[in-house]
A and B are shown apart, each in its own frame.
Chain A
Amino acid sequence: DQQVKQNSPSLSVQEGRISILNCDYTNSMFDYFLWYKKYPAEGPTFLISISSIKDKNEDGRFTVFLNKSAKHLSLHIVPSQPGDSAVYFCAASKKTGANNLFFGTGTRLTVIP
């Protein structure tokens, strides 16, 4: 049972435009959400996170929005750059336990120059 879902396997965006990646979750016990970026043949690298007590977190070109009532979060990248082309994973964690992460299936972003 997939508790974190990314329904768009792929997304293509023109350089300079906004990229919006979406993620939905089903478990209301999740209280921390993260986005990881993954290049081929490398491990995932942490990008940005948000606590459930917030609805927005911004870091440079990257902004994550959280809508708890809808159990939905999104990652906005603006402006998009060719180097942003990668697979993006949404992940969620519960405060209790060992900070185990539950991952979505990923969205492959391609930024077209």
Chain B
Amino acid sequence: NAGVTQTPKFRVLKTGQSMTLLCAQDMNHEYMYWYRQDPGMGLRLIHYSVGEGTTAKGEVPDGYNVSRLKKQNFLLGLESAAPSQTSVYFCASSPRPRGSVYNEQFFGPGTRLTVL
């Protein structure tokens, strides 16, 4: 199993350009998440999905859109990139919780995005 994969690994954009980050998981997980990591800030949740066709906002959703058309894929879009969106983006997935059992999230390797 590849686990959680992210495409691309690196990208440089100019202000105002758009792009889509792709996350794929082969563990049949229901839940998927997008985080960004900035120096001194830890990881912050952008958007998440609890199943195919569903999405919801996290802590820092502004400037991003997401789609979950297939269970195994979760796309993160930047419609008009800004320098403040320079960050490392991590995708994660987890099984749906069963009762009181918590399931940890599994993370991809990250995408380093620079917006000039």
Listed in ascending order, the chain A residues whose CB lies under 8 Å from chain B are 2, 4, 6, 9, 32, 34, 36, 41-46, 49, 51, 89, 91, 93, 95, 98-106
Listed in ascending order, the chain B residues whose CB lies under 8 Å from chain A are 4, 31, 33, 35, 40-45, 48, 50, 56, 58, 90, 92, 94, 97, 100, 102-110
Closest residue on chain A to residue B105 by CB atoms: A101
Query: Are the C-beta atoms of A98 and B107 separated by less than 8 Å?
Result: no
Query: Are the C-beta atoms of A98 and B48 separated by less than 8 Å?
Result: yes
Question: Provided the pairs A44-B90, A95-B100 are in contact, do residues A100 and B108 lie with their beta carbons within 8 angstroms?
Answer: no
Question: Provided the pairs A100-B58, A105-B41, A106-B42 are in contact, do residues A42 and B109 lie with their beta carbons within 8 angstroms?
Answer: yes
Q: What are the residues of chain B within 8 A of A32 when measuring CB–CB?
A: 102
- Cross-chain pairs A/B with CB under 8 angstroms, 14 sampled: A2-B42, A4-B42, A9-B40, A32-B102, A41-B110, A42-B109, A43-B109, A46-B105, A93-B102, A99-B94, A100-B48, A100-B58, A103-B44, A104-B42
